[in-house]
């Protein structure tokens, strides 16, 4: 049997501030290829280029990756603020509809960081643009030096920074065989109000929602707030998640 194919959403970017491109972090592609056992194919996060029906006819699963851009606040009835830019409106237009379509068609979907946020908004939920501004919350953004620059060492940036408590007998707890895990943290935006079908499966020590599933989804439909793509080759938590995604891909391919 041929390898399953996974569509990986692209992000809008400009090279030299002139040339419009779509890009995907290589770690996402390697996680899919090396751990989920699938062929990763990037698709444009732009509805003028990517037609959802044709895309889902061509792949066995979808990964909604993390990204620098925030989901635009108009998507959850909140006024935008320049300090929360950048935004990627084209990706919003595609990803929110795509998340719903995947669940409706039983196509496995794995949301990572922004991907979790997109899944929540797609099902009617809202986000807070800066989780750290809420009372009692920690700073979930990536570590910086004293001068404000992003820390130059990726092992520091992606180091595990806080615990996540998983609901007893939930999908994550059953997959991972435990009820507490430790994860990295590189986000500003986060879930405020869960969507109608969004089930909270994991919460950080400060109350930030870190793991979700979509209720009654016919296939894998999980989202994580941390960057699981960073180290699944050696991190047992992230490896298990990508392997479970890979197993769902095989089920989907056999049923096609």
Q: Environment class of residue 243 by beta-carbon count within 10 Å: exposed (0-12), middle (13-18) or buried (19+)?
A: middle
Give the Cα separation of 16 and 26 in Å (integer): 20
The one catalytic residue in 118, 130, 201, 229 is 229
Contact yes or no for 152/179 (Cβ under 8 A): no
pLDDT tens for 211-223 read: 999 999 999 999 9
pLDDT tens for 121-147 read: 999 999 988 888 888 788 778 777 777
Residue 192 Cα distances to 21, 26, 53, 76, angstroms = 31, 30, 30, 10
Among 156-160, 180-184, 242-246, the minimum mean pLDDT is found in 156-160
Give the Cα separation of 210 and 204 in Å (integer): 6
Is the pLDDT assigned to residue 15 strictly greater than 80?
yes
pLDDT of residue 114: 95
Instruction: Determine the Cα angle at 200 with ends 104 and 250, to 5°.
Output: 45
The whole-number average pLDDT for the span 92-112 is 97
pLDDT of residue 198: 98
User: Which residue has tokens 């909270």?
Assistant: 200
Is the pLDDT assigned to residue 1 strictly greater than 70?
no
Which H or E run includes 19? strand 19-23
Q: Coil, strand or helix: which one is 144?
A: strand
Which H or E run includes 56? helix 52-58
The one catalytic residue in 72, 128, 140, 227 is 227
Would you report the helix, strand and coil content of the chain in percent, each value rounded to 5? 30, 25, 45
Q: Which residue has the higher pLDDT, 134 or 193?
A: 193
Give the Cα separation of 23 and 12 in Å (integer): 7
Active site (annotated) includes residue 229: yes
Which H or E run includes 157? helix 154-157
The one catalytic residue in 113, 128, 140, 187 is 113
Contact yes or no for 76/84 (Cβ under 8 A): no
Give the Cα separation of 63 and 116 in Å (integer): 10
Rg, the chain, Cα only = 17
pLDDT tens for 224-246 read: 999 999 999 999 999 999 999 99
Closest CA to 112 of 22, 196, 36, 216: 36
Q: Which two tokens stand for residue 251?
A: 């089920």
The whole-number average pLDDT for the span 108-119 is 97
Closest CA to 59 of 220, 249, 217, 218: 249
CATH numbers and ranges of domains, the chain = 5-255 (3.40.50.880)
pLDDT of residue 145: 74
pLDDT of residue 54: 97
How confident is residue 3, by pLDDT bands cut at 50, 70 and 90? Answer: very high
Is the pLDDT assigned to residue 6 strictly greater than 90?
yes
CA torsion, points 50, 54, 56, 59, in degrees to nearest 10?
-90
């Amino acid at each position: 049997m041929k390898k399953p194919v996974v569509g990986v959403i692209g992000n809008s970017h400009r090279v030299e501030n002139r040339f419009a491109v779509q890009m995907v972090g290589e770690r996402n592609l390697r996680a899919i290829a090396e751990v989920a056992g699938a062929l990763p194919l990037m698709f444009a996060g732009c509805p003028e280029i990517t037609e959802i029906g044709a895309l889902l006819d061509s792949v066995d699963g979808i990964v909604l990756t993390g990204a620098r851009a925030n989901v635009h606040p108009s998507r959850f009835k909140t006024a935008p603020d320049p300090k929360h830019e950048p935004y990627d409106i084209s990706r919003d237009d595609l990803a929110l509809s795509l998340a719903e379509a995947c669940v409706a068609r039983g196509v496995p979907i794995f949301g990572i960081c922004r991907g979790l946020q997109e899944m929540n908004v797609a099902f009617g939920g809202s986000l807070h643009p800066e989780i750290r501004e809420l009372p009692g919350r920690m700073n979930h953004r990536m570590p910086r030096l004293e001068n404000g620059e992003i820390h130059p060492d990726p092992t520091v940036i992606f180091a595990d920074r806080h615990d996540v408590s998983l609901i007893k007998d939930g999908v994550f707890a059953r997959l991972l065989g435990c009820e507490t895990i430790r994860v990295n943290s590189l986000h500003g935006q986060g879930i405020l109000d869960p969507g109608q079908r969004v089930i909270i499966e994991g919460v950080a020590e400060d109350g930030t929602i870190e793991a979700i599933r979509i209720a009654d989804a016919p296939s894998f439909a999980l989202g994580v707030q941390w960057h699981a793509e960073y180290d699944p080759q050696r991190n047992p938590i992230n490896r298990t998640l990508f392997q479970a995604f890979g197993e769902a891909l095989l089920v989907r391919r056999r049923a096609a």
